[in-house]
Amino acid sequence: MSLHQTSGRWRLGLALSLLTVLLWGILPIALAVTLQVLDVYTVIWFRFLVSFLMLAVYLGIRGKLPKLEQLRSASWKLLALATLFLGINYFLFMQGLALTSPANAEVLIQLSSLLLGLGGLVIFKERYRLYQWIGVSVMTCGYLLFFREQLTNLITAHGTYILGSVLIALGATAWAIYALAQKQLLQSLSSPSIMLTIYGGCALLFTPLARVKSLFILDTFHLGMLVFCALNTLIAYGAFAESLEHWEASRVSAVLALAPIVTLISVAVVLVITPSWTPPENFTFIAMLGAGLVVTGSVTIALGKAD
């Protein structure tokens, strides 16, 4: 089986990756507000359904809806795999989040970016230079410093906390499988066609768990937040899928590793504007040093020249 090759337009791939990081970085705040009034499965279902409908309308207007022949010519097994594992990722992450802390979840979900990077190196035969491997080491040390307190909590945690952590780690693994399948699917389908199918499939998967009636009692503020979450899904995953068309998975994953730092910066900004939206995060000097190392390592990996 031939493997997907990037277009070589790395600047576009970098820009799309940064857009994904920004959107994924601010998403947890909107989700935290939305989950005050809705259950997690209804939120997930709504995000996927709205993303599917809006993308279908957009592609329909442009006359670019995928034809049945195109879907048949693609690897339907790989398409089903990507859909299933993205759904599993959402399910496991939400279940795990209920049993552990948001900060701990933020640490463990980064396993997804690491596995995506390793998958790019092993499966797609991408290569790092020596200084990029040094960048990996720097980024890893940065995370250990940045999340030192959460890692200590994990080591000394009780059974429920550990179970939640295991579920999140499994969810991260499921996401990496989805992302690698998504990249290979670009060999035969455009990224919008792939995402349209995945959005629709995931919406069907979560339909039995959704409480649709609860949507009709939302106030304007929470409805607006829910719609923002759906638009965030549509744009962020669209940008991520397209970035894999133009740039190596190992480099995209390095940029995505910046997402938790964007989240914590966003939380700090929101606390100044509307403190009631989210609980505060305390930054120590060690944590800020770790954040600097993560950024340095990520930039080294992403912008280094390929062999």
CA angle 156, 117, 81 (to 5 degrees): 95
Q: Which of 26, 13, 18 is nearest to 260 (CA)?
A: 26
pLDDT reading at 186 higher than 80 = yes
CA distance 177 to 198: 14
**In this predicted structure, what is the pLDDT of residue 15?**
92
Of 10-24, 137-151, 205-219, the range with the lowest mean pLDDT is: 137-151
Given a contact cutoff of 8 angstroms between Cβ atoms, the answer to whether 184 and 3 are in contact is yes
| Token pair for 226 | 């829910």
pTM of the predicted structure, to 2 decimals: 0.80
User: Average pLDDT of 235-254?
Assistant: 84
For 239-261, give one letter per residue: b (16+ CB within 10 A) or e: bbbbbbbbbbbbbbbbbbbbbbb
- Cα–Cα dist 57/304, whole Å: 39
Residues 251-284: pLDDT tens digits?
787 788 777 778 777 777 887 787 766 656 566 7
- Label residue 163 by pLDDT band (50, 70, 90): confident
The pLDDT of residue 4: 55
pLDDT, tens digit, for every residue of 81-96? 999 999 999 888 878 8
Instruction: Evaluate if residue 55 carries a pLDDT over 90.
Output: yes
For the chain, give the mean pLDDT: 81
At residue 151, the pLDDT reads 64
Measuring CA to CA, which residue among 169, 189, 196 is closest to residue 111? 169
Work out the angle between the directed axes of helices 130-146 and 148-155 (0-180°, nearest 10). Answer: 70
